[in-house]
Amino acid sequence: MAKTIKKLSPEAGRTDIEGLRAFDADALAKCAADAAQPWWRRRACAQALAGRVPERRVPRLIACIQDTGDVSEVRIALLGLLADRPELLPWLRHEDRQQDGAYGMAEAVLGARGALGDLTAAGALATLAFNPWRHRRETGEEGLDALAARYGFEAVLAELDGARPEDRSTGVRLRHHAGEDVTDALADPDRAVAYRAQEFQTDPERLRGYLAGAPTEEAKLWALYALHRLTDDTAETRRRYEELGRPRVEVAGLDEELRAAIVHEYGQWAEERTDPRWRIEAVCTQPPASDPAERLQRAMAALTAAGLAPKPPVSCGEDNRQGDGTYHVIGYGPSDSKVFISTLGRFVADHDDDPDVRLALESAGFRWIDHAVGSIQVTDLGVYYFGSRDPLDVHTLLFYWQD
C-alpha cells in the first residue's frame, strides 16, 4: 500500500519524520501551506522540507509566515525553513513584528534576522541570548553566531553596548569562541556574566594564577568554583576557601541546621545569578546525614501512638498528581488534614499548625517549622520555582514541589 502524508502523520505525536523526509517535496510544501490540515501535520511537513523547498512554492509559504492569523507553530517552522531567503528581511525588520504576540514568533523573527545577516538585530539577539529559558537563549546564540560567522565577532561587538550585562555576556561568549582568554570577566559585577565566564574556563593553572590577584572576593570565588569544576579536588578547594576566610551569605534567623540542609540541596545547582558563596559553601562543608525512609517510619509511629490515624505516606509528586520535590505527605484523621515531612532533614509542618500533630512529632525528635521560621527569606540563592528565579523562603525550600 502506497504511503501518504496522512499515513506518515496520522495524529499528533505519531509522525514518521524520516518517511516524510523521503516524500515528494512538492506535496509536502502544498500540505505545509494548507490551512485545512492540522497544524502539527503542517509543521512536520515544513520540518521534512529542510534543504529541498520547491522554488515555485516559496511565495505561498512566505505568505503563511506573514499571516498573523495562522498558527504560530507552523509559522515558526516555515520561518526556520526559509531563513535564507533575503526577500523576507524587510518584513522581518518592520516595526510591526514587535507587535506580533503569537507564542515564539518574536524569538523566531530575531533568529531569522541573525541568519540573514542583519547586524542591527545584534542587541536584541544579545538580550535573547541572556534569557534564562534555554530555548530562547539558544535562538539568540544561534543568531549571534550567524552574524559573527559572516562579519567577524568584532563587528558584532561593535553593535553592542558594554553597559548592558546581556551585551557583556555576549562579548564573553564570542571572545571565548574566537580563542580569547575571558578570565577577566570573572570580575564582572553581574553574576550571570561572571557565571558564563567561569563556564568557559579550561585551564586550572591559569585560574590558580588569577586567584592570587583577583580584584574582588566574588571574582576569587568564581575562579575557585571553576577550578573545582575542572579538578574535582575538594581538598584544594577547601584549603583555598579557608584562606579566603570561609566567606558566606549571612541570613538573619537561618540557623546552622537549616542552612546545611538548604545549601546542600540547592547550593551547587542553583540559578546563574546565585551568589558564588553559596556554591563554594556547598562544596566545602559536610552535608548533613539524612535518612528519609527512617524519618517516615518514625513519623508514622508517632502519629499512630498519638491516636491520629495516619494514612500511608506519599511523595509530594503523588500528592499533587505530578512533579516532584523535597517532602512526603501523611494524611491523618477523618478529614483531609495533612502533615509534610521534609526529605532534607527532621523538618515537619502543616497548613493548620495542628497542636496535637506538632506535639506528637516534636516528641519523636522532629522540628516543627512554624510561620516565623518558614517565612525567612534565603537571600541571593536563586532556585527555579514556577517560572520565577527569585529567592525563596525556608518553608518553600524545605517543602519544595515543582510540577
Cα–Cα distance list, 376 to 82, 263, 394 (Å): 52, 15, 6
Mean pLDDT of 137-163: 96
Main-chain phi, psi angles of 314, to 5 degrees: -130, 155
Q: What percentage of the chain exceeds 90 in pLDDT?
A: 94
Cell of 224: 575557585
Average pLDDT score over the chain: 96
Q: Please, which pLDDT band fits residue 335 given cuts at 50, 70 and 90?
A: confident
Q: Following CA atoms 274, 280, 285, 291 in sequence, which dihedral angle do they give, to the nearest 10 degrees?
A: 40
Contact 49, 28 (CB under 8 A): yes
Which helix (H) or strand (E) is 46 found in, with range?
helix 39-48
Mean pLDDT of 281-305: 96
Please check the confidence at residue 120 and state whether its pLDDT lies above 70: yes
Please check the confidence at residue 140 and state whether its pLDDT lies above 60: yes
Query: In this predicted structure, what is the pLDDT of residue 1?
Result: 46
Mean pLDDT of 207-223: 97
Query: In this predicted structure, what is the pLDDT of residue 385?
Result: 96
Mean pLDDT of 311-335: 95
Q: Please, which pLDDT band fits residue 290 given cuts at 50, 70 and 90?
A: confident
Contact 395, 369 (CB under 8 A): yes
The whole-angstrom separation of Cα 227 and Cα 205 is 9
Please check the confidence at residue 3 and state whether its pLDDT lies above 90: no
Contact 253, 373 (CB under 8 A): yes
Please check the confidence at residue 131 and state whether its pLDDT lies above 60: yes
Which helix (H) or strand (E) is 73 found in, with range?
helix 72-81
Mean pLDDT of 119-126: 97
Tell me: the pLDDT tens digits for 168-184? Answer: 999 999 999 999 999 99
The whole-angstrom separation of Cα 173 and Cα 54 is 37
Q: Is 21 exposed, middle or buried (0-12, 13-18, 19+ CB in 10 A)?
A: middle
**Full DSSP string of 334-355:** SSS-EEEEESSSSEEE-SS--H
Q: Is 45 exposed, middle or buried (0-12, 13-18, 19+ CB in 10 A)?
A: buried
Contact 325, 401 (CB under 8 A): yes
Query: In this predicted structure, what is the pLDDT of residue 2?
Result: 66
Tell me: the pLDDT tens digits for 362-401? Answer: 999 999 999 999 999 999 999 999 999 999 999 999 999 9
